[in-house]
Structure 1
């Protein structure tokens, strides 16, 4: 059974006098996908060094996230425990199987750690981002057992750890990184771009946090304080 979409495309092909299987046309499509040309990139993200980290933090905070910085991965658990305590939140945390998180000294904190996807009953979760985007203060997370996507949406409070070295200036740079890291054909099933906590102003134009996901988002930036300002 043909669909309306099939009929529309068939009509376009008839008007152009093509079938869609012509070798030159298929080669053009294959080449474009392989080359993955970038679109217009905003100038705001064209910064480097400490200036890029400062922009990332400023944009994240403008989107209602909170941010802390640590010098090394070993300092991450204490920073998260301090943030939970400062907000009078339970000393519990769920995480996936990301080896970067597993290697951190969680035993040095009072946090009770659970592993695996969330079933919706968790108050707090931590994920490790693949990258950050300075132009919007966005964290980029890929799906899989290392960082289950349920941790992005179900807990009330979400903490994201991102390496300063993985903060890019713009979205296009991050897509290039992901293609290089995973390769075509083995990209993660889902790439989530998280900018601030979940919020909505659909009802009476009143801002409501936690509308479709976490009501709090805290970002821990690792290793950015040693960056030098852009010249």
Structure 2
């Protein structure tokens, strides 16, 4: 029995429930597959070109920065420029999903995989961007480790224009289309912040101080 099975077994025991049978599992699956969409605001129901502009505008309102690039091959140069402008070390931890990208002669030390405590900047890929609020939809998995989203001071995220959707409901549709549900789905809106203490805004309380979104046309 795995640690996960033991934990779920303890939860079921505390609730007085038995292991779900095939009929119950089928009911759960049917409910997941036959979900009903919630209310979608009018601001999220506009032509796609307008959604792209709204996403960028909303991202800026919550403290994120953006750069618009033509293609994936432009990312390494944009990353090198960002690290230089922010006076950050010329090194970055990159999601395996982007491992095929060539860094050429860029003066950046590149590592792949999950983030380490010593990493100051990371680069990952978003499943979707929600124009309604300028929010990134980030999923966990071997190709996009969740630690990349939260450990560094600076998180850079690749997002293609075709993956920008109107509302959260559209984002969840992207998750369901994956087939296998990721262990974690994170909706990230701007850099980490809190104002819990004396209503003083503090950046980087639970994650990155800087969030930079690289929006690709192709």
The reply to whether TM is greater than 0.5 is: yes
Can you give the 5+ residue segments of structure 2 that lack an aligned partner in the other structure?
1-9
Aligned to 1:91: 90
Aligned to 2:71: 72
The whole-number CA distance in structure 2 between the counterparts of 1:29 and 1:152 is 30
Runs of 4+ with deviation above 6 angstroms:
25-29
Return the TM-score normalized by structure 1: 0.81
Q: 2:201 aligns with which of 203, 207, 218?
A: 207
Aligned to 1:109: 106
The whole-number CA distance in structure 1 between the counterparts of 2:116 and 2:135 is 25
Which secondary structure state, in structure 2, belongs to the residue aligned with residue 93 of structure 1? strand
Which secondary structure state, in structure 2, belongs to the residue aligned with residue 89 of structure 1? coil
The whole-number CA distance in structure 1 between the counterparts of 2:48 and 2:170 is 15
Q: Does 1:146 align with 2:147?
A: no
Larger Rg: 1
Q: Deviations over 1:42-92 (max 9, x none)?
A: 211112232111100011111100001001111111111111111111111
State the Cα distance separating 1:27 from its structure 2 match.
8.4
Q: Does 1:119 align with 2:116?
A: yes
Aligned to 2:37: 38
The whole-number CA distance in structure 1 between the counterparts of 2:149 and 2:28 is 34
Could you say if the C-alpha distance between residues 44 and 26 of structure 1 is closer, same or farther in structure 2, counting changes exceeding 3 Å?
same
State the Cα distance separating 1:28 from its structure 2 match.
7.5
Matched length: 204
Q: Does 1:170 align with 2:164?
A: no
Q: 1:218 aligns with which of 208, 212, 218?
A: 212
Which secondary structure state, in structure 1, belongs to the residue aligned with residue 104 of structure 2? helix
Q: Does 1:133 align with 2:127?
A: no
Aligned to 1:196: 190
The whole-number CA distance in structure 1 between the counterparts of 2:152 and 2:28 is 42
